[in-house]
Amino acid sequence: MSQVAVGKKVPDFSLPATGDKTVRLKDLRGKNVVIYFYPKDSTPGCTTEGRDFSENHRKFSRAGTVILGVSRDSLKSHENFKAKQEFPFDLLSDTDEKVCKIFDVIKEKNMYGRKVLGIERSTFLIDKEGRLNREWRKVRVKGHVDEVLDAAKAL
C-alpha cells in the first residue's frame, strides 16, 4: 500500500547514492524533485529512460528540479551504469526496498512465464514543499520525460 498521495507530504527518506553520497529527501526542500523508479541498470528500457532524463537535465535544472533515479541495484552497479551513460544526476540504491515500499512500486510481473516481484517503472514529482504533485505509474518510456518536464515547468 502506497504511503504517498498527490497533494500530501512525502515521508522523508535517505538512501545511498552514486558519488559516495547519501541523499535525504528533506535536504532537497526548496527544489522540485523528480524520482524515477526503474527496474534494472544497463537494460534497454532503463538506459533509454535515463538517457532521456540526461538529455533534458539542463531544462529540469532551469525549472528548479532535481532528478534522482532509483532501483534495487547495488551502488557498484549504479556507479558503472552512471559512468557508462554519463548521467549528470545521482542514482540511488534501494536494495532493501525501503523507498520502493513508500511509493508502492514493487509489483508482480511476468518474466518469461514466471511470476516475479520487481519495480514497476514509475515517476513521481515532488514540489518545493515536499508534497507529491504528480505521479506516473506503469510508465512507457517513449515521450515520458517530456511529460514530466512539462509538469515540472508548471510548478
Q: List, for residues 75-130, the tens digit of each pLDDT value.
A: 999 999 999 999 999 999 999 999 999 999 999 888 788 888 999 999 999 999 99
Looking at residue 99, what is its pLDDT?
Answer: 97
User: Taking all residues of the chain, what is their mean pLDDT, rounded to a whole number?
Assistant: 95
Q: What SS3 state is found at 133?
A: strand
The pLDDT tens digits of the residues spanning 28-63 come to 999 999 999 999 999 999 999 999 999 999 999 999
pTM over 0.85: yes
Pairing status of strand 32-37 against strand 65-71 = parallel
Buried b (16+ CB within 10 A) or exposed e, 72-102: bbebebbbebbeebebebbbbbbeeeebbeb
Residue 75's domain comprises 14-154
DSSP 28: G
2 found inside a domain: no
How many distinct structural domains can be found in the chain? 1
Instruction: Report the 10 Å Cβ neighbour count for 37.
Output: 24
149 found inside a domain: yes
The pLDDT of 133-137, averaged and rounded, is 97
5 found inside a domain: no
Closest CA to 89 of 58, 64, 118: 58
DSSP 93: E
Helices (H), 21-112: 44-55, 57-62, 75-85, 98-102
6 found inside a domain: no
75 found inside a domain: yes
Looking at residue 112, what is its pLDDT?
Answer: 81
Give the C-alpha distances (Å, rounded to integers) separating 104 from 65, 66, 101, 153. Answer: 23, 21, 5, 26
134 found inside a domain: yes
Looking at residue 3, what is its pLDDT?
Answer: 85
Residues with active-site annotation: 46
Is the pLDDT assigned to residue 1 strictly greater than 70? no
Looking at residue 115, what is its pLDDT?
Answer: 87
We report the CATH number of the domain holding residue 71 as 3.40.30.10
The pLDDT of 4-30, averaged and rounded, is 96
1 found inside a domain: no
104 found inside a domain: yes
Is the pLDDT assigned to residue 140 strictly greater than 70? yes
